[in-house]
Amino acid sequence: MKIFVINLARSPERRASIEQQLSLLQLDYEIVEAVDGSQLNYDEIVKHTKTLNYAVTSGEIGCALSHIKIYRKIVSNNIPFALILEDDAQLDYQIIQVMHHLKQNKTHTLRLPC
């Protein structure tokens, strides 16, 4: 199963933490640079939020765009299963069981508790 990790370029300590965890679990992964919401200009914010009827922060917009970036990559590369992690995830060996469950049951989405 392909693993994508979203990481803000300005957060190298978070990248190092998730890379260490994934390496200990002997899992292959791809780091995807996050969209930094704080760097979006007004026009970009309006473009991505005009259909919403509530206020969102620039960080929330950046996070959503980062996930969309990976969704597009999954579709364009015809990846059948993928796990998307944010760089502040805390992993243990149960993640391997979760990945196996997802693949065996062909579950489209599984939200893990914080």
Task: Tell me what the mean pLDDT of segment 16-23 comes to.
Answer: 97
How many CB atoms are closer than 10 A to CB 102? 17
Please name the residues in contact with 99: beta carbons below 8 A apart, sequence gap of 6 or more: 1, 83
Q: What is the pLDDT of residues 49-94, one digit of tens each?
A: 777 766 778 888 899 999 999 999 999 999 988 899 999 999 988 8
DSSP class of residue 6? E
